[in-house]
Structure 1
Amino acid sequence: MQPTTVQSQSHFMPLSSREREVLKLITEGASNPEIARRLYLSPNTIKTHVRSILNKLGVEHRLQAAVVALRHGLV
């Protein structure tokens, strides 16, 4: 796995409150179906939120998003 360059927190696009909820659950290791059940949303809605989170944080994988979130106090 190659190192990823991550923007500083001030350069992240703002996350919606729902995206922050989803990101918090990602940092806890929850899968998309688990997140969908816990938030009473469809799995497709969660996929959309995850895709948006990855784009806003400038990362390619949910593990990278979790690391960025924890390092930068996003959750």
Structure 2
Amino acid sequence: MNKVIQKNKKYTYDQRIIEALVTKYGLTKVYIRMCLRGGYTTITADKIKADYKLLEKQMKQTLENFNAKN
């Protein structure tokens, strides 16, 4: 009896960004993920979403710049 375990591919977040948000806001990883998923609709949740998008964009830009130089 071999069970196949499937991971949730819809919500995959960069763990480095999650850790940075945990450090900045002093909240748990679970709460951060729930905010990103849309489980909470508070002002803090909106700030977390905006910060996540900003950090994700900056990381992609940095990687693109690094790869373009090589």
Higher helix share: 2
- TM (normalized to structure 1)? 0.29
- TM (normalized to structure 2)? 0.31
* Higher relative contact order (Cα pairs below 8 Å, separated by 6+ residues): 1
Which protein shows a greater Rg? 2
